[in-house]
Chains A and B, each alone.
Chain A
Amino acid sequence: MASGVGRSASVLRAFVSNFSLRTLSNEHFLSGLRCVSCLHKRGYSTPAPTVRAQYGGRHTVTLMAGDGVGPELMGHVKQVFRYAGVPVDFEEIRLDREHNDSEAFRQALLAVKRNGTALKGSVETGIDSPTGSLNAQLRTELDLFASVIKVQSIPGVQTRHDNIDVVIIRENTEGEYSNLEHENVPGVVESLKIITAAKSTRIARYAFNYAVEHGRKKVTAVHKANIMKLGDGLFLECCRKVSEEFPQIEFESMIIDNCSMQMVSRPQQFDVMVLPNLYGNIVGNIAAGLTGGQGVVPGMNIGENYAIFESGTRNSGRSIAGKDIANPAAMLLASADLLEHIGLKSHSELIRDAVIKVIVEDKIHTPDLGGQATTVQVVQAVIGHVREKTKQ
């Protein structure tokens, strides 16, 4: 019994150290504060600093609860932050199904520009809504060009595949999400997918820099250039060109349909993946599904000046709203990533370690992970670990 506990404790320690170290470069872990935003500054000559709202030691962060489970999860995040003594004040902005006019959107935009970072739930888009996806518009307006989703197998979470450790870097502002559609004649609709050399090069460079920063070995570019010869052909060409600047990183390309097949048969072969917008959406969701689902995968949208943190799969969770069964892990891990981004590394680690301990060690699982726990029970357990640590 004792040896079993000892073994699982050492597995946990190894996993936790791996998990938190993965968000920073292994070599620079001890060399002081490193923030996620520094990664993308490396590749650009722009002098514009990453925006921070910090005064008197306290940070201000925009909070947009959105729809579905957003409001309840944000409540839990605030509670955890209180217990962890996080010096962050939230500026709460309403942007959801009911508050979605141009004024509400403008306020949200200004708030993120003012504070530099935001924690966000998903805003539901009605199919007949006149404005289109506000989530996508926010990302485009703020030029949050990179969506980064880190997907790892979690010990204790039963999945069909093990040893998955993939980072999915998705171009976030163009491609199929350009929102340029028109009906030429009734019953004939064209939707434009835009690929530019500038944005493709930018995301490729971000991906390779990320790989170097985090000690990753391989970057896979995913495309459909055999069919969309000009569009995806351009994306692939830009990735290839950038790969020549990083000879130490292995570069390969894969067609999206083969990639999907490989993801469900042998996902362990992937390391860092760089993809245009839609394929990134697909592969990101496949990867999240393979490692436990939308409840455990955090996501971040990074721009040169701003960053928005949210759940990796961007679900609003409409069907489980208000039922106290949502898994708060994804949002809590996203909030931990946010804290790291603004330089509050020790608070970030405190919260991240607590969440991982609850899932891996305590095994308090909500229904999406096959358990019976409620959201509140998970949050209480997280707070329990946080208080334990802060007492020391």
Chain B
Amino acid sequence: MATRVLKSLLAPSVRTLCRRYSSQDARTVTLIPGDGIGPEISAAVQQIFSAAQVPISWEAVDVTPVKGPDGKFRIPPKAIESMNKNKLGLKGPLATPIGKGHPSLNLALRKEFSLYANVRPCKSVEGYETVYKDVDLVTIRENTEGEYSGIEHIIVDGVVQSIKLITEQASRRVAEFAFEYAKLNGRDMVTAVHKANIMRMSDGLFLKCCRAAAEKHKDIKFNEMYLDTVCLNMVQDPSQFDVLVMPNLYGDILSDLCAGLIGGLGVTPSGNIGENGAAIFESVHGTAPDIAGQDKANPTALLLSAVMMLRHMGLTEHARKIEKACFETIREGNVRTADLGGSSKCSEYTQEICRKVEAMD
């Protein structure tokens, strides 16, 4: 009975992944420009999207916490309404608020929209090369529990316990998502990353859920690997990995490790998938306040996240064009921002990509 209920809860969110939108419908997407370089790179993305004639209209909102009637700081209701209506969001970098009373905005967004899976495709960027040339993998990280539950206690003076929480529901949800993602995106293999030899019950439960999901998706290969073995092999030969699914902490570390393999957070896209079809795509780099407003920022990470969003929506042709234009611009090397080793301005880089996109039609 419980499993039937669970299954019916899971099915809708999985089914919406397959929903196709006709190119005639203009879809409204919530845009959270963010802080620092956020507004500039968001504007750049909007410019490129209009050059590509993507059928999207943007609804910009501000997520700076406001004091509610009860004195607690919350995300403004307007932002929440917008997301609930549109179900899709694109988010720039947010500055971490300092001082008491302000919740972590990323955490608040995650809780509000039950963003349970964080997806980071890591592909070597041609033309912006690191010592790792053949990376093409996706890390899928459980986003709501695990080591980041925030449950900590001081038992006695000098002894602290942090609780890592693993539930069957969340593990099953992210495992199902991983296999569906693999199927939808033509990936061959899903690897579950764990440390079940040490944390037998918790990672054991996670692994059990992954194995159960693998049984239901026999067309996708499945294997399990210890976290330390993954790290060891990843830095020697990243091409052996395809899709990786793991609990929260390992996912945090491994996704940043993989971002480092392809060149850092400035070129890494990221998407957060929630229940009921909600999804927020974001750039994961910082707000770079030192270059904000100087037309020096690199919009690649946010652009690639927006491309991820297009694929999620089924607008694959637009996604392909924009991504191709972006990679070609980087590969040609004439018009690159400073962090990619060039000397161009953000606006010049954006214009070059727009030019390429328009030329493709």
Binding site for B on A (CB under 8 A): 125, 127, 129, 132-133, 136, 160-161, 176-177, 179, 181-183, 186-198, 224, 227-232, 234, 256-258, 260-265, 278, 281-282, 284-286, 288-290, 293-294, 313-315
Contacts of A189 in B (CB 8 A): 165-167, 201-202, 205
6 further interface pairs, Cβ-Cβ under 8 Å (given A176-B164, A224-B252): A189-B165, A189-B167, A193-B163, A195-B160, A258-B256, A261-B260
Within 8 A of A (CB), among B233-274: 233-236, 249, 252-257, 259-261, 264-265
Contact call A127/B152, Cβ cutoff below 8 A: no
In the complex, which of the residues B162, B200, B236 has the most CB atoms of chain A within 10 Å of its own CB atom?
Answer: B162
B136 at the interface (CB under 8 A from A): no
Chain B interface residue count, Cβ-Cβ cutoff 8 angstroms: 54
11 example contacts (A-B, Cβ-Cβ < 8 A) are as follows A127-B196, A127-B204, A191-B166, A193-B163, A194-B159, A196-B160, A198-B158, A257-B256, A260-B253, A261-B259, A278-B249
Q: Which of A160, A190, A195 counts the most chain B CB atoms within 10 A?
A: A190
Query: Given the complex, which residues of B lie within 8 Å of A264, measured CB to CB?
Result: 132, 235, 257, 260-261
CB distance from A317 to the nearest CB of B (A): 11
The docked-state distance in angstroms from the alpha carbon of A189 to that of B157 is: 26
B50 to chain A, nearest CB (A): 34
B163 near A127: Cβ-Cβ < 8 Å: no
Among B152, B158, B205, the residue within 8 A (CB) of A229 is: B152
Nearest CB of chain A from residue B6's CB, rounded to whole Å: 10
**In the complex, A258 Cα to B232 Cα: how many Å?**
17
Known A-B contacts A190-B164, A191-B166, A195-B162; A285 and B231 likewise in contact (beta carbons under 8 Å): yes
Interface centre among A229, A282, A313 (most CB of B within 10 A): A282
- Does B147 lie within 8 Å of A228, measured CB to CB? yes
Q: How far is the CA of A191 from the CA of B146 in the complex (A)?
A: 9
Interface centre among A187, A234, A264 (most CB of B within 10 A): A264
CB of B359 closer than 8 Å to a CB of A:
no
Residues on B with C-beta less than 8 A from A231 are: 152, 160-162
Q: Nearest Cβ in chain A — how far from B256, in angstroms?
A: 4
- Shortest Cβ gap from B199 to chain A (Å): 5
Main secondary structure of the interface of B (DSSP, over half): mixed
The residues of A that contact B81 with a CB separation of less than 8 Å are none
- Binary contact readout B156-197 vs A (1 if CB under 8 angstroms, 0 otherwise): 011111111111110000000000000000000000000111
Is B227 touching A281 in the complex (CB atoms < 8 A)? yes
Q: A189-B202, A289-B236 are in contact. Are A282 and B231 (CB under 8 A)?
A: yes
Contact A190 B200 (CB under 8 A): no
A residues near B162, Cβ cutoff 8 Å: 192-193, 195, 228, 230-232
**Is A230's CB under 8 angstroms from B152's CB?**
yes
Decide yes or no: A187 and B167 within 8 Å by CB, A160-B131, A288-B232 being known contacts: yes
| Assembled-state Cα–Cα distance A53/B256 (Å) | 47
Separation of A294 and B197 alpha carbons in the complex (Å): 19
- Chain B residues within CB distance 8 Å of chain A: 130-132, 147-148, 150, 152-154, 157-169, 195-202, 204-205, 207, 227-229, 231-236, 249, 252-257, 259-261, 264-265
* Chain A residues near B234 (CB-CB < 8 A): 286, 289
Cα–Cα distance between A177 and B158 once the two chains are bound (Å): 18
Q: Which of A257, A260, A281 touches B228 (beta carbons < 8 Å)?
A: A281
> Is A188 in contact with B168, judged by CB distance below 8 angstroms?
yes
Q: How far is the CA of A4 from the CA of B263 in the complex (A)?
A: 36
Distance in Å: Cβ of B146 to nearest Cβ of chain A: 9
The answer to whether B256 touches A194, judged by C-beta atoms less than 8 angstroms apart, is no
CB contacts (< 8 Å) of B160 on chain A: these are 194-196, 230-231, 234
* Chain B residue at minimal CB-CB distance from A235: B160
